[in-house]
Structure formats: C-alpha cells, structure tokens
Chains A and B, each alone.
Chain A
Amino acid sequence: MLEQIDALLNEAKSKINSCQDLKTLNDIRVEFLGKQGKVTNLLHTMKDIDKEQRPKFGQLVNSARNEIEELLKNLQISLNEKAIEQKMANERVDISEPSKIVEKGEIHPLHKVFDKLIDACVAMGFTVITGPEVEYDYYNFEALNVPKDHPARDMQDTFFITDNILMRSQTSSVQVRAMETMKPPFKIVSPGRTYRADSDATHSPVFHQFEGLVVDENVSLVDLKSMLTQLLKMLFGENTKIRFRPSYFPFTEPSVEVDATCPSCGGKGCRLCKNTGFMELLGAGMVNPKVLEMSGIDSNKYSGFAFGPGVDRLAMVVNKIPDLRMMFENDMKFLEQLK
C-alpha cells in the first residue's frame, strides 16, 4: 500500500522532471490529479483497506497529492517564464529604425533667449510690457532727453516715417510709456523689435532689445550690478562676472557699458573677446533725473536704473552663431542646427 503511494509519487516526479512544455504539464496534471487521475483512483481504493489504516492511508495519499501539486505549480511558473523568454527572444525590433512620431520643431534661438530673460525677470518681480514699434518722436527721443537736433541722435540712424513718427530705434520708448502710467515703485521689462538704418555683418536694420527699468526709492548702481550679474549668470553660467565701463546715453546718468566674462573662454582670453577675457554685452545706467521728471516722477524721491541688452547679440553669443544675418534668413539648415 505504502509502496503503491511511493511508486505513484516517483512516477509523477520523474514525469514532472522530464516535462518541457505546458501541454505535457497539463497532461501530467490530468494523468495524476484529474477526475480519473491516478491519485484520485488510488483514493478510491481506500474502501478496500482496513478501517484503522484508512486515516493513515488518506493522509499519505493527500500529502503525495499536495507534493505533486506543488511540483506542478513550480514547474508551471518556470515553464511560463521560459515561454515568455522564448517569445521575447523571437520578438526583436531594429531600434535604429526611425520613430513614427512627427519630429519636433524648434523655437528660434532669439526667442529662446527672450523667453529665458523674461522668465528670470518675472521671477524677480518684473512686469513684462510691450509697446508700439511705430512710435512718436517724443517717446523715442524727446522724453528720453534727446531733443530734436541733439547730437545724441547721431548715435543711432533712425528710420523716419514722418517728421514726427518713426520706427523706434530703442525699446527705451516703452520706459517712457510705462513711467507715464505706472506709479513707483515698479519693475518692468520690455522685449521687442527695434529698427535702425544700418546693415552689415554686425548690424541688422531690424533687431531686438530687452529693456529693463526699475524705479524705486534708493535704487543704486549696486542694485543694477547685482541684478545684471544674476541675469547674465543665468545665460552664461554661474562663473560669470560683470564689470562696468563708463559710457554715455542721454537717458541715463551715470551711464555704463556692461562687460561680462567671455562665455567662450571663461575669461582666459580668446579670439572672440580679443584676449580681454570680457565681452561687451549691453548698455545700462541710472535713469537721468531729467527723464524721470519729464514723465512725472518725483526725482527727489525716486531713482531708477535701466538696462538694454541687444538680444540678437546675446543669442549669437549663447549659440556661437557666426553671422548675424543667419538669424533672419531662416534657412532650415540653420534652424535645424538649433534642435
């Protein structure tokens, strides 16, 4: 009797051990554990056994049954795994085939820089405003301390439409409009298009500026420096340092040229920065009290600073663009390089 159980168990074990596939596994399950299976049949022989031995017999058969079940379960798991592995081994794509999704386009390098500047300034509490590109002489010049026939008008060749209306030559015109309508303290930036009658490898008749203006009590050149350092670090990296050089703009006094560590060589000196380690990037200064007064702001109480980088130049420096004109020709061979 016991031998019978042992033999059955051994038979099952040997079949399970040699089983290679799920179908055979199923057959084994039916053969031993099915309704007409060998283990079930063995249980049916219980009625032929002595009464007192019956519980023991039942117990042994059940334990054999459990053991077979356990073995089958484990086998099934391992066969399943094998089957999946087999399937995967047969399923293989050439991952170098092209994607099926439309390839993304790209924002123009100029606007990437604009967006960065705008985001940084909004985070620092600036309001972004825009103004007209076709502008009155007053806002572009007169209110910025450049009266008609002032020599400072020669600093920029302006496109005129009538005696009194022109294409703004600087986004500073928006400063004036802002000062007329906003009450200090305020911080504004104005990105936009500007126009000058100038065209060569480094000048474009249509170009772009990013004007910033802060009017508050006790604003100083130190604030200007720290703000611009932050902004230029964001564009050119944490190690960027800036320095001031004296300059002249009619609407700021003092006026400065702002140089930043040459992003190309990191300040060591290279061809791009003419071995100075610095690159001239923008003009800035403290708002001329005359300009504040002309726009109705009390210059005894308030002071301000303004800055105005040429964004085309920044975009060129950031992306190492060799020729300004490439930016406006929009050749796909140019645009696709900036993906």
Chain B
Amino acid sequence: MKVTLKWLKDFIDIDMTPEQLADKLTNSGNEVEEIIYQDKYLKNVVVGKILDIQKHPNADKLVVCKVDIGEITQIVTAAKNIKVGDKVPVSLPGANLANGIHIEKSKLRGVESVGMFCSIEELGVTDYDGEVNGIMILDDDAVIGENIAKTLQMDDVIFDINVTANRPDCMSVIGIAREISTLTKKPLKKQDLYYETCNDDEDVKKYIDVEVKDERLCPRYMACAVKDVKIEKSPKWLRARLVSVGIKPINNIVDITNYVLVEYGQPMHAFDYNYLEGKKIIVRPANNGERILTLNHNEYDLDSSMLCVCDGVKPVVIAGIIGGMNSCVEPTTTTTILESACFDRASIRRTSRKIGVRTDSTARFEKGVDCSLQPLGMQRALSLVYKLNAGKIVKGQIDTVKQIPQDKTMTFSLNKIYKLLGVEIPKDDVLDILNNLGIKSSINGDDLTCLVPYYRQDIECYSDIAEELIRIYGYSVYDSINAKPLSGTSVTIGKHDEILHLARNLKQQLCSYGFYECVNFSLCSLGDRDKLLIDEQSELYNMIKIANPISEDIGYLRTSMANSMFNTVARNLSRKNSEFKLFEVGRVYLPKELPLTELPNEINMLSFCTVCKKDDFFVLKGVVENLLRDFDLKYKLDYSKKCFLHSGISADIIDLRTNEIIGSFGKVHPKVAENFDLSENTYYSEINLDKLVKYQDKKHSVEMISKYPYVDRDLAIICDEDVTVDSILQSVKKSCGHLYYSAKVFDIYRGKELNGKKSVAFTFRLESKEKTLTDEEINQVVNKILKDLNFRLKAVLR
C-alpha cells in the first residue's frame, strides 16, 4: 500500500527524514518496502518558455530554439510538437532523466545546445490522460524557471508499505498516521470535514430506498445523494495525490471516492442516479444467470454466492469489488448516489477469487473494514464534494446499521505478558504505549485493563497486547540479552526420525561409491507416466492432480522416483555431462482413490542411478547388496516386473518374510531410455525405505572359531548357459554337508571353444570343528561335489 509524506503531514507533524520515518515504521511492524522520491528524475529540470524557433543551419530535422528559463538560453531539438510561446520542461546539465539519459552541454551539428526539452517518458511521469505526444506542453500558468517537480506537483515522497494481514486499520493514510503518532508521541491533527447541505425540503429518502437482504454479508450500508452535479476534472492537487499512490484520476466524483478510500481506508462507490431503476438499492446475492458488464470492460456471469448491490431490477455493482458500466458516473451525470458500506470480508474474498478481480476496494474489504468507519468515510466524501463545489448535497443520510460496534474493555495479567516477552517493560512505558495507540489503559496490581478501540479487531488476548508493547518499545531490547539456550525449559531427550536417520546412513554409503545426491521436485507431468510405460493396471497409474498448477510440467504428484531421476539424468546428458552417478531420497504419492477423499500413502523411497560406461548390472547389484547388508533382512532376487526396467537384466528384491518387493534394480528398459533420451547403458535402482526401516536391528550371534585349519579348493566346471550360479553354489553347499564353510564364484568364462556353454570357476572352503581334515576326506568331498553337479546340473569338470 502506498502513502505519501505530504498526505501523512495532513494528519500529523513529521520532523524526521523519510529514511528515519521508514525505519521507525519498519521496526514497529509496518515494513516500508520502498521509498520513492517523485522528483528523482526531475532534478535540474525547469520550466522554460519557447521564445523563438529557427531552422538549424546544418540539419534539416533539427531546429534551434531560444528559451526563457529565467535567463535566455539555447536548445537544439528535433521535436515537432512545439511552437513559440509554449511552456515546456527543459532539462539542464546535470539532469538524470528517467530513461537513463544524462544531460550535458553539447553541440548538435555545430550548434550549441545547453539542454533538452523533455517528453513525459523522459521525466518518468505517469500520463493517465494520454494527451501528450512528443514534448510535454505545460499549462500556461507554469512559472518560468521553476523546478518541474513543483510545477507538476511531483515533489512528494512515497512510501510503499507492506501492511500485515492482521492490521486492516493500517490500510489508510490515517491508519499509518495513527502509528506514527504512537511512535513519535505526537497528536493527530484535527481534520476539517465541514460541508453544507441544500436548504430545500428534499431528503435523500425521496431519491432512494435501500434494502439489505443479508445483514451478515452487509452489516452497514450508507447512502447520500448529490444533485446538480458538475462532472469535471478534479483539481491538480487531488489528481496529483491519486497519481502518487497509483490511482488513475477519472473525474471529480469518482476521484473523491478513491481519495476517501486511500485516506480513510473506506472504499466508496458513486452511482449515476438516473440509471438506478425503481429508485432502489437492494444489497442481495446475485441470481444465477445474472450478468454484469463492469468498469474493467469485462462481463461476468454471476451466481448466488456473489453479493451484489442492485437497483430495483439488476445488479449494478459486484459488492465491494467492482462497479457496473450500467450505472457509473459519466460526464452526463447530474445526480449521484454515494455509497459507504461494510461488507463481510470472507464473502468479498471468495467472490474476488472466483471472478479473478482484485481492486483497491477488495484489498481493503478482504482484510476487514470495520462497520464504524462508514460515517467517517461518507463525511469526508461529502466535505470534498462541498470543497470542490462538485454538486449540491441533499439533506439526510440513509444508514442501515442496527448495531454500532463498541470499544471492548479487556483485562490482562501484566505478569503473564512479561513472562511471554521474557523482559519487563516499565509500567509507565506500558501505559504510555497503549494510550498512544488509542488503547486507554490502567494498571491495578497485576491487572492491566484496556479499552480496545473498535478498529483494533486484532486484539483478543494477552499475547496481542504483548506484541503491541514490544513492537513499540522496540525489539532492540533483546539485542543485548544473552541467555543460555533453552535454560528456561524442561530437560527433554533428543531423538532422530527413524526414516531420516536410516536414509542418512544409506546416503553416506552411496556417496562413498561415488554417487551424488540430487533433489528433484516431487511434482511432475502426466506425460512421464507414459514415458515410464506405466499401464492402467499398475498401482503407479493414478497420479494426484494439482487443481491449480502453475505449469503442466509440475501439475501432478509423482508415483515413482524413476521419472524424476531419468529427467535429471537426461538434463545432465543434454548438458554434455557424462559418466556420473546420482541418488535421491524422496517420497512418492499413491492415492487410495481418485478424486482424493483422504490423504494418499506417502512412501519414502531411495533411488539411485549410474550412467558410467564401466558400470553394469553387477556393479549395481554389489551396491544394493552392501546397502542391504546392514539390515536384518532375508531376501531373494527375482527377475523384476517393473515396467521401466529391462525384463532380462533387472531384479526385484523380495522380502522372504512378507513376500513383498522391497526394491528393484537393473538396466533401464530400452524403450524407456529412448523416451527420456537416456543412454542405453543406464542402470537404476529404488528401495522402499518404509519397508526397510522395520529391519533396522540386525542381530548377530558369534560362534567359536574352529581350532583346526580350514581347507580351500578351487574347481572349474562347464555347464549350460541357463544353469545359474546360484544353483551351482547351492549344489556345492549341499554336497559339502557339515564340512561346508563357504563357496563363491570367482570367474565365469564364455568362449567359442565351449560351444555356447560357460565355464564357472568357484572356490570353496571346508572346515571341521573337531579335527584336521585329511586329504582323503577332502577328496571325497571334491568327488561328491563334481558328481552332484553332474547329476543335478549336467555340469562337467573343465
């Protein structure tokens, strides 16, 4: 919200610099986001009168002007829209214009020019009239030599203030002035709100009848009539004020309503009386099917959730949001009805969102305009009508209010406030601060009794008073306090989150294998589902849709980690990064049903991926095995059924206790690799952390080590390609019987001379707890191993 220094000064004396004032406001809760000096680009720009225009001796498109700027000077220009006698803005050496031009004395084609005539763009002036093309031509009464900022009334300082949602009372010039009054302990100035009404017998009731259908949605509606209206441009000062806070001047009546909105925070509306059918104003919800063409030249379909101000027949305003074209004040208007009303903030907010219209009016109503403000707003509007001589004010006011809100008396425990703040603000300061805030207060023992004004709807309990006190007293009081952390609190035992802690351990291990962690959005596009080849039967098929996405690319919640990973891998490949390994810990979101009626299952997952040339399925397998080794998990591997993995080079990790898949890994399906633009040699793995976390406690039970030496033997066998290593080792284990200690494969060889068979070399270890094994015993076992392998797997010794 914008307010200006001059405007504030109408209400309170300010003897600080704008920067000091901004600091004070920011440090008490009304953050000044920007200080704008209106004359920033107007320094060294003055009013000049063109005395003479001559052709340039050396250029067809240039002219040489004699200009009076208090002294006679010479300007060379290419401007077309000037004539002798015009008053124009002249920028002199040293001026820095809004378009970045720095003015210096110069020669144009050999003729000296001391400065430049300026257009409105060069001055950074907002042109709401659209009248000016080329050089800005000033009014005749402009004072020659005067700084242009003064002439244009652009010598104000504007504060852009971020008013927090709990302080609707600060959404106005007077609201900010009240805050300054508290901060500087200076009283507000008395305002002249005088006006006179017509002497005739007419009363506003003769003109209009107001009916409010739902008092909850419109607790107060005030209306006044102004007749013999003269619609014209507002005076310069009023237009300048509106422009300075970013409001476009329209005409005197409309400008008055906007002026009151900024000054008092009361949004107002003015109707052309002649267009109000049935001499009636009815505040009611719209009927379904009603339409309205509004001042922004849009037409809206209305429904019964939208509160409207209507005449006897039709809606004329979407209440508190925007007026209709059908009854707006125009140059032809002769009688106007002024509205000063209070509408329910939630209703305004809903309707504003629904039709997508936000105005200065909604900005106030949404935060909450209290229903004691309307008479003040109306009085200010009428005083301006009177002052501007914009029309004759008809006697009487219509006011539908039934109950005027009262100031509330509340009592708080001072001690409790001190305990919350952790510091004791001296009682004198407490009373000072609250009284200056307009909260009349007294202290009796521990009791702090406050009369909270109606406009401070945000003050409800002791913590609200605590905040008022500390924000004015100053948070700097904490700067010098250094207490031991949490010394005032009970002793509690810290505890990690199981999943996060588990993930952290796995992440550290993956790092040591050369993987980097990535953080991907959990939002994705619907298209990813097809790219992953997920079909309707899959539990990954139903993706939760964001109702109001900012882009379709991130319009859905992922049901798999894979698409996130593949997109990240592809992005890296497209940026010429090759040979890398990535992992991510995140969630997938599986709805129980769509549309959602309850929260979905959010599953914590670990995914990792390698795109290194020398990595293959077995590298990934090793990583998976090592990660899982820390867990009390018995599992087997089976060819994976994951749609996005290669069916022959992938595995599901199956929990033998529950028969559930706890994770999967393998080569990415060639079609999927193509869909995501991955290299074919991409290996991906994912592990369900929620399932894994149950097996965190791995128990060990250590056996005595045999006193007798073990024996290692190597064997190489030739077998069919479809004989698995696992079946060979199982057979060896069986054959060894109680002497078995371990067995593992150390080489697999495939060569032409083997005719499509493979050679598997393995080593096994035999051990007895009772004695040293003899050669004979060992040979017996070797023979049995070979015999059994031949019988079970048709394998022969190589």
Contact = CB atoms under 8 A, between A and B. Distances in A.
A335 B583 CA distance: 12
Given A250-B165, A331-B572, A244 B517 contact: no
B519 interface: yes
A126 interface: yes
B478 interface: yes
A244 B554 CA distance: 36
B577 A245 contact: no
Given A229-B485, A289-B461, A329-B571, A248 B167 contact: yes
Contacts of A126: 492, 494
B423 A226 contact: no
A245 B475 contact: yes
B700 interface: no
State which size class the interface on B falls in: 35 or more
Contacts of B600: 134
Interface stretch (A22-30, A60-68, A145-153): A145-153
Interface in B560-597: 568, 571-572, 575, 577, 580-583, 587, 589, 595-597
A98 interface: no
A197 B519 CA distance: 18
B483 interface: yes
Interface in A158-175: 159-162, 165, 167
Interface string A301-322: 0010000000000000000000
Contact of B582 (A130, A165, A187, A330): A330
Given A110-B519, A191-B500, A206-B522, A253 B475 contact: no
Contact of B485 (A152, A227, A335): A227
Contact of A129 (B31, B345, B422, B497): B497
A219 B511 contact: no
A265 to B, nearest CB: 19
Interface string A131-152: 0111110000000000011111
Contact of B515 (A105, A133, A205, A336): A105
Contact of A286 (B28, B420, B575, B581): B420
Listed residue (A160, A219, A226) with the most chain B CB atoms within 10 angstroms of its CB: A226
B476 interface: yes
Contacts of A152: 165-166
Contacts of A198: 550
B705 interface: no
Contacts, number: 270
A193 B522 contact: yes
B26 interface: yes
Interface in A100-121: 102-108, 110-111, 115, 118, 121
B481 A222 contact: yes
A283 B482 CA distance: 20
B544 A134 contact: yes
B309 to A, nearest CB: 20
A220 B550 contact: no
A221 B481 CA distance: 11
Interface string A225-246: 1110110000000000101111
A118 B28 CA distance: 33
A161 B545 contact: yes
Given A135-B599, A256-B475, A151 B367 contact: yes
A118 B498 CA distance: 13
A290 B602 CA distance: 30
Interface stretch (B215-223, B464-472, B735-743): B464-472
B42 interface: no
Contacts of B461: 253, 289-290
B523 A206 contact: yes
A128 interface: yes
Contacts of A229: 482, 485
A74 interface: no
B101 interface: no
A102 B514 contact: yes
Contacts of B26: 245
A59 interface: no
B550 A205 contact: yes
A110 to B, nearest CB: 6
Contacts of A161: 544-547, 596
A155 interface: yes
B475 A106 contact: no
A222 B483 contact: yes
B514 A222 contact: no
B21 to A, nearest CB: 16
Given A191-B500, A214-B486, A159 B519 contact: no
A185 B492 contact: yes
A121 B583 CA distance: 26
B548 A160 contact: yes
A248 B486 contact: no
Contact of B519 (A118, A130, A330, A333): A330
Given A105-B517, A159-B546, A185-B492, A134 B599 contact: yes
B493 A125 contact: yes
A154 B504 CA distance: 36
A246 B167 CA distance: 13
B500 A127 contact: no
A226 B568 contact: no
B403 interface: no
A136 B597 CA distance: 10
A121 to B, nearest CB: 7
Given A254-B466, A330-B518, A335-B516, A124 B486 contact: yes
Contact of B490 (A103, A110, A216, A248): A216
B169 interface: no
A327 interface: yes
B514 A149 contact: no
B657 interface: no
B481 A132 contact: no
A105 B523 contact: no
B61 interface: no
Interface in A185-229: 185-187, 191, 193, 195, 197-199, 205-206, 214, 216-223, 225-227, 229
Listed residue (A160, A161, A186, A193) with the most chain B CB atoms within 10 angstroms of its CB: A161
A220 B419 contact: yes
A139 B513 CA distance: 40
A18 B278 CA distance: 136
Given A105-B581, A254-B470, A187 B478 contact: no
B287 interface: no
Contact of B165 (A248, A254, A289, A327): A248
A332 interface: yes
A130 B486 contact: no
A248 B164 contact: yes
A330 B483 contact: no
Contact of B547 (A103, A151, A162): A162
B495 interface: yes
A195 B31 CA distance: 25
B438 interface: no
B519 A125 contact: no
Nearest to A147: B346
Given A136-B599, A331-B577, A332-B516, A222 B571 contact: no
23 contacts: A102-B512, A115-B504, A125-B486, A128-B495, A130-B497, A132-B599, A132-B602, A133-B589, A134-B596, A149-B350, A152-B166, A162-B595, A165-B599, A185-B490, A187-B486, A193-B522, A218-B488, A219-B489, A223-B488, A243-B479, A254-B467, A331-B572, A335-B518
Given A103-B514, A154-B165, A286-B463, 9 more contacts: A104-B512, A106-B511, A125-B491, A161-B546, A161-B547, A206-B521, A226-B482, A253-B467, A330-B571
Instruction: Please list the 8 inter-chain residue pairs (A to B) with the smallest Cβ-Cβ separation, ordered nearest first.
Output: A220-B422, A222-B422, A248-B164, A149-B346, A254-B467, A122-B494, A246-B29, A330-B518
Interface of A: 102-108, 110-111, 115, 118, 121-130, 132-136, 148-152, 154-155, 159-162, 165, 167, 185-187, 191, 193, 195, 197-199, 205-206, 214, 216-223, 225-227, 229-230, 241, 243-248, 250, 253-256, 286, 288-290, 303, 327-333, 335-336
